[in-house]
Amino acid sequence: MHIVFAASECTPWAKTGGLADVVGALPHALAKLGHKVEVFLPYYRQVAKQVPGAPVVLQSVTIPFEYYNRFVRILDGGKTEGVQYYFIDSPEMFDRESFYATPSGDYADNAERFGLFSRAVIEATKVLGVPDIFHVHDWQAAMISVYLRSTYYFDPVFRKVPTVLSIHNAGYQGWFPPQTMQKLLLPWDMFTLDKLEQFDNVNFLKGGIVYADAITTVSRTYAEEIKTAEFGSGLEDTLQKRSADLTGILNGVDYEEWDPSNDPLIAAHYSPEDLSGKKECRRDLLHAFGFHGVSEDTAVIGIVSRFATQKGFDFIAQVADELVKENVAIVALGTGEAYYEHLLTGLAERYPEKMRVRVAYNNMLAHKIEAGADLFLMPSRYEPCGLNQIYSLKYGTIPVVRATGGLQDTIDEQADGGGNGFKFWGYSAWAMLDAIKRALALFQDKEKWTAMMQRGMVQDFSWDGPAKEYVKVYERAIMNRS
């Protein structure tokens, strides 16, 4: 099968979140299964710095707009682990400081930028090879689904080529003013409530949902959640109509980077059979955050996150004074909303013997926290998939999570101390605190605690299983379109 991925982010070149990790890893897993996979990505300034002078494979591709044409080049990003990468080069569109926005707000021409990206991918494949299926990601590439069923409807080359749209976070949709229809040369009869229009705006993600042959999202629970008003961000009715074509497939993780048996960024290696190295990692973590004399009976709670309400930091703020009364040492790493950055650093100043905070993005420290903490706290209000709880399982660091999205799907709490972690339901800081207390109680029973650690460490959340599930989605979409 020939599969073309189109996305606005992909590791190692361009990343703001989990989308980049998926587009960086899933194609490799599909290639291992014997499929031909190509990935298209904008040639951002940040990408150009990493891949300067990428060879040109198509010198000029014409992308028409309302009153003018733009011309883009297609660059060869090389082939890695069986996956071919291409970059869409349009300096006036992508040679900018950031991917989507400045500190003062989104780029005003984002509709034009990612409309151009979508059409350029389609046009490039007419020359480089028409795929069996397009796999497009989030609102930035969702317009490929729309274009194929409108502007390219009568093109015999694409008539039977389906699209699969993956929604990584339904909260980000790509809203633009009505005149966007004209700018992108889209027919006005698509600007209706049952197609692209929402609240008198063009909604790119909605268009993708309406016109894609199949829709996926990043966990089974999130696939159900986004069909409700609480999580659907206004698209719940549209998603309910496409319910039969919506599949939740849990993201995999890259165990080549996240595995305590060979992680080069941690103080000592360890495995489910030999956990002795984790004690050294714990000592190293406490030293890195400036803790001294922490007892072995004190549970080290780790946090690696964006500091934001969505990640549940309002819960932490509400019960922090109670939490620090417990026998804990808390280490937190991340950046985010200024309010929570100040709040957390303030708590660390008030309770230096209990809490330390590092406001930064630091990959090495993130690995140290996963390896050295006893508990990992992830109280997200919503979490489409989540990766850190899966990393934590691999590192024998017991997750405490809110039962939402991928957190619900990956963490199993059992009353007898079985399962692989702890979780709380509802929208309550006190429910979170109660879950932490349950974890702290079990922490004192070293035999049961070790057994829980080992259960989590041997679970397999690699990309092998999800890749096979995606192939089934592709095959179904191809069959329905033929």
Report the pLDDT value the prediction gives residue 104, as an integer from 0 to 100: 84
Neighbours of 149 (CB within 10 A): 18
- 180 token code pair: 């966007």
pTM: 0.92
Same structural domain, 297 and 182: no
Picking from 13, 61, 7, the residue whose alpha carbon sits closest to that of residue 39 is: 7
In a domain, 265, yes or no: no
Q: Do 109 and 33 share a structural domain?
A: yes
Shared-domain flag, residues 31 and 178: yes
- Structural domain of 206: 2-252+464-481
Does a structural domain hold residue 404? yes
- Distance in angstroms (rounded) separating the CA atoms of residues 316 and 347: 11
Report pLDDT digits (tens) over 298-342: 999 999 999 999 999 999 999 999 999 999 999 999 998 999 999
Question: Is 299:439 a contact under the CB 8 Å cutoff?
Answer: yes
CATH code at position 372: 3.40.50.2000
Residues 115 and 231 in one domain: yes
pLDDT of 154 reads 94
Sheet of 328-334: strand order equals 355-359, 328-334, 299-304, 375-378, 398-402, 422-424
Task: Please say if the pLDDT value at position 415 is more than 90.
Answer: no
Return the bridge partners of 5, or none.
Answer: 39, 135
Give the pLDDT confidence score for residue 122 in this predicted structure: 98
Specify the pLDDT at position 54. 96
46-81 burial, b at 16+ Cβ within 10 Å, e below that, comes to: bbbeebeebeeebeebebeeeeeebebbbbbbeeee
- On whether both 206 and 292 belong to a single domain, the answer is no
**Using CA atoms, how far apart are residues 411 and 314, in angstroms rounded to an integer?**
22
Give the residue ranges of DSSP H helices in 226-326: 236-241, 276-288, 313-323
- Is 257 contained in some domain? no
Amino acid at site 26: L
Residue 263 lies in a domain: no
Please check whether residue 402 is in contact with residue 411, taking contact to mean a CB–CB distance below 8 angstroms: no
CA dihedral for 387, 24, 254, 266, sign (positive or negative): negative
Q: What is the pLDDT of residues 358-371, one digit of tens each?
A: 999 899 999 999 99
pLDDT at 79 over 90: yes
What average pLDDT does the segment 210-229 reach? 97
Per-residue pLDDT at 17? 82
Tell whether 342 and 470 lie within a shared domain.
no
Instruction: Judge whether 36 and 58 are in contact, CB under 8 Å.
Output: no
Give the confidence band of 417 by pLDDT, cuts at 50, 70, 90.
Answer: confident
Q: What is the pLDDT of residues 130-185, one digit of tens each?
A: 999 999 999 999 999 999 999 999 999 999 999 999 999 999 999 999 999 999 99
User: Does residue 298 lie in a domain region?
Assistant: yes
- Quote the strand ranges of 21-132, DSSP E: 36-42, 56-64, 69-80, 83-89, 101-102, 105-106
Distance (Å, rounded) from C-alpha 11 to C-alpha 15? 6
Judge whether 267 lies within some domain: no
Q: What pLDDT, on a 0 to 100 scale, did the predictor assign at position 370?
A: 98
Do 188 and 114 sit in the same domain of this protein?
yes
Phi, psi of 133 (to 5 degrees): -160, 145
Is pLDDT of 193 > 90?
yes
Residues 473 and 435 in one domain: no
Q: What is the largest CA-CA distance in the chain?
A: 72
How far is CA 168 from each of CA 10, 30, 73, 335, rounded to the nearest angstrom? 13, 19, 28, 21
Copy the structure tokens of residue 36: 């031909």
Q: Give every strand in the sheet of 163-167, ordered side by side.
A: 56-64, 69-80, 83-89, 36-42, 2-6, 133-137, 163-167, 214-217, 246-248
HSE of 200, CA atoms in CB hemisphere, 13 A: 0
- Token code pair at residue 43: 């040639």
Q: Are 135 and 5 in contact (CB under 8 A)?
A: yes
Look up residue 138 and give its two tokens: 């989030």
Q: Do residues 447 and 476 both lie within one domain?
A: no
Distance, in Å, from the CA atom of 124 to the CA atom of 147, rounded to the nearest integer, reads 14
Distance, in Å, from the CA atom of 424 to the CA atom of 379, rounded to the nearest integer, reads: 8
| Average confidence (pLDDT) over 278-300 | 97
Q: Is residue 264 in a domain? A: no
Task: Indicate whether 233 and 357 sit together in one domain.
Answer: no
Task: Residue 75: name the closest of 47, 97, 46 by CA.
Answer: 47
Residues 286 and 248 in one domain: no
Task: List, for residues 90-129, the tens digit of each pLDDT value.
Answer: 999 999 999 999 888 899 999 999 999 999 999 999 999 9
What pLDDT is attached to residue 102? Answer: 86
Burial per residue of 210-224, b for 16 or more beta-carbon CB atoms within 10 angstroms, e otherwise: bbbbbbbbbbbbbbb
Site of tokens 């000029």: 60
CA dihedral 332, 337, 338, 344 (to 10 degrees): -20
Total structural domains within the chain: 2
> Please, where are the H alpha helices in 149-226?
180-183, 204-211, 220-225
* Same domain? 226 vs 77: yes
Is 271 inside any structural domain? no
User: Rounded to an integer, what distance in angstroms lies between the CA atom of residue 294 and that of residue 283?
Assistant: 9
